[in-house]
């Protein structure tokens, strides 16, 4: 009976503990939701210029999705796709479509929808951003998605100079030999930072460039000459690197593999450190044994000559005569015993 009472009490305590944890988690989530609601209300609704250079429209943050789907989806060399958290998106960058200097081009129009298959994680429902408006027909499925544009611009190394007069002089002298491509992501302002990993590589996986950056607010200046000297939320690619990647990426184009340089994009809201891999017990034992063997081999002095000995057959000795070579025989034996080895 006493054991039954003790087990019943333990079960009751565990249930109460779980309920308490659940209550604390609920309170924490409610507090966070309240903070996010307040943050969403304080998001700026001031319109901004479209980040694409050849598009001169002024867009409100809640209308960027509509504008993007109607104006920039069918741009030459661009990619249009839904994208989800921690789900890689592979694109192909063909530099032949982006040859003009100082022109921002829309390389990809993306609809970010949080975690795939989980509607509650969509940015408009998690108070990451305001819901979209003015969507029509089947575009209503993007009401709570976040519009993101991947912009690429060809400019020069001199855009990183803070002295713009010097930049203009150098560009007029040597612009063609200092070309670079700049990649960055823009979106409406969010309540929390939105991170992404952008990786450029060749099709043989011999060379690659990868960065972890933050999505920029589209209402800020999108002129590389203005934000390159002060920020680092972009990826730079030199003309020589583009040629190197292209030389390794030549091949027949297929429906699954477009011509150009492969680019991988991963978006996530909460960047976590990569898990540390710990060695297993078996690996540790093997490493320890190997270290001990190496230590013994290095620390024990080696014997001169061959260690293999052949014992000659014992000759019959006459009785009453003692061997005079007893001292010499003991001296010829190995001076190192097994005990001394294992003590090492």
pLDDT in tens, 21-43: 888 777 777 777 777 778 888 89
Residue 211's CB: how many other CB atoms inside 10 A? 15
Structural domain includes residue 253: yes
96 and 1 in a single domain? The answer is: no
Question: What pLDDT, on a 0 to 100 scale, did the predictor assign at position 7?
Answer: 77
Domain span at residue 26?
Answer: 1-34
95 and 170 in a single domain? The answer is: yes
Dump pLDDT digits (tens) for 80-128: 999 999 999 999 999 988 989 999 999 999 999 999 999 999 999 999 9
The answer to whether the predicted template modeling score (pTM) of the entire model surpasses 0.75 is: no
Question: What pLDDT, on a 0 to 100 scale, did the predictor assign at position 277?
Answer: 46
Structural domain includes residue 227: yes
122 and 11 in a single domain? The answer is: no
Answer whether residue 178 shows pLDDT above 90: no
Lowest-confidence range among 179-193, 256-270, 318-332? 318-332
Question: What pLDDT, on a 0 to 100 scale, did the predictor assign at position 327?
Answer: 46
CA proximity to 81, closest of 109, 114, 117: 109
Answer whether residue 250 shows pLDDT above 70: no
81 and 54 in a single domain? The answer is: yes
Dump pLDDT digits (tens) for 331-340: 444 444 444 4
Whole-number Cα distances in Å, 253 to 84, 249, 250, 258, 261: 27, 10, 9, 5, 12
Structural domain includes residue 67: yes
Runs of H (alpha helix) within the chain: 2-41, 64-71, 164-174, 224-227, 239-248, 281-299, 326-332, 338-343
- The proportion of the chain whose per-residue pLDDT surpasses 90, expressed as a percent, equals 49
226 and 104 in a single domain? The answer is: yes
Residue 205's CB: how many other CB atoms inside 10 A? 9
| Number of independent structural domains in the chain | 2
CATH classification at residue 80: 2.60.210.10
Structural domain includes residue 157: yes
To the nearest 10°, the Cα dihedral for 21, 22, 27, 31?
Answer: 100
Dump pLDDT digits (tens) for 278-326: 455 565 556 656 655 654 554 445 444 444 444 555 555 555 545 444 4
54 and 28 in a single domain? The answer is: no
Question: What pLDDT, on a 0 to 100 scale, did the predictor assign at position 80?
Answer: 94
147 and 48 in a single domain? The answer is: yes
DSSP strand pairing (48-49 vs 58-59): antiparallel
Dump pLDDT digits (tens) for 137-162: 899 999 999 999 999 999 999 999 99
208 and 243 in a single domain? The answer is: yes
pLDDT classification of 72: cutoffs 50, 70, 90? very high
127 and 26 in a single domain? The answer is: no
195 and 116 in a single domain? The answer is: yes
180 and 64 in a single domain? The answer is: yes
DSSP strand pairing (89-93 vs 58-59): unpaired
13 and 61 in a single domain? The answer is: no
Lowest-confidence range among 66-75, 115-124, 263-272, 325-334? 325-334
């Amino acid at each position: 009976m006493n054991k039954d009472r003790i087990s019943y009490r333990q079960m009751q305590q565990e249930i109460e503990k779980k309920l308490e944890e659940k209550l604390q988690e609920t309170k924490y989530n409610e507090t966070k939701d309240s903070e996010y609601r307040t943050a969403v209300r304080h998001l700026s609704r001031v319109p901004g210029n479209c980040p694409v250079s050849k598009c001169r429209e002024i867009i409100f943050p809640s209308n960027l999705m509509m504008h993007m789907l109607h104006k920039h989806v069918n741009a030459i060399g661009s990619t249009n796709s839904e994208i989800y958290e921690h789900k890689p998106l592979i694109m192909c960058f063909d530099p032949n479509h982006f040859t003009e200097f100082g022109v921002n081009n829309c390389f990809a129009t993306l609809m970010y929808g949080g975690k795939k298959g989980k509607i509650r994680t969509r940015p408009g429902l998690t108070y990451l951003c305001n819901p979209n408006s003015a969507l029509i027909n089947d575009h209503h499925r993007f009401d709570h998605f976040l519009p993101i544009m991947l912009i690429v611009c060809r400019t020069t190394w001199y855009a990183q100079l803070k002295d713009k007069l010097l930049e203009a002089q150098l560009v007029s002298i040597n612009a063609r030999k200092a070309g670079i491509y700049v990649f960055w992501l823009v979106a409406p302002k969010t309540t929390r930072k939105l991170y992404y990993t952008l990786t450029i590589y060749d099709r043989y996986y011999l060379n690659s460039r990868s960065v972890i950056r933050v999505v920029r607010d589209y209402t800020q200046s999108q002129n590389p000459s203005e934000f390159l000297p002060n920020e680092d939320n972009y990826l730079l690619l030199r003309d020589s690197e583009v040629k190197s990647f292209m030389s390794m990426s030549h091949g027949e184009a297929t429906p699954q593999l477009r011509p150009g340089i492969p680019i991988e994009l991963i978006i996530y809201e909460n960047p976590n450190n990569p898990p540390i891999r710990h060695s297993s017990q078996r690996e540790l034992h093997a490493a320890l044994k190997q270290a001990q063997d190496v230590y013994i081999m290095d620390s024990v002095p080696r014997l001169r000559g061959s260690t293999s000995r052949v014992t000659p057959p014992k000759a019959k000795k006459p009785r009453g005569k003692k061997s005079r070579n007893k001292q010499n025989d003991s001296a010829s034996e190995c001076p190192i015993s097994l005990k001394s080895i294992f003590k090492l």
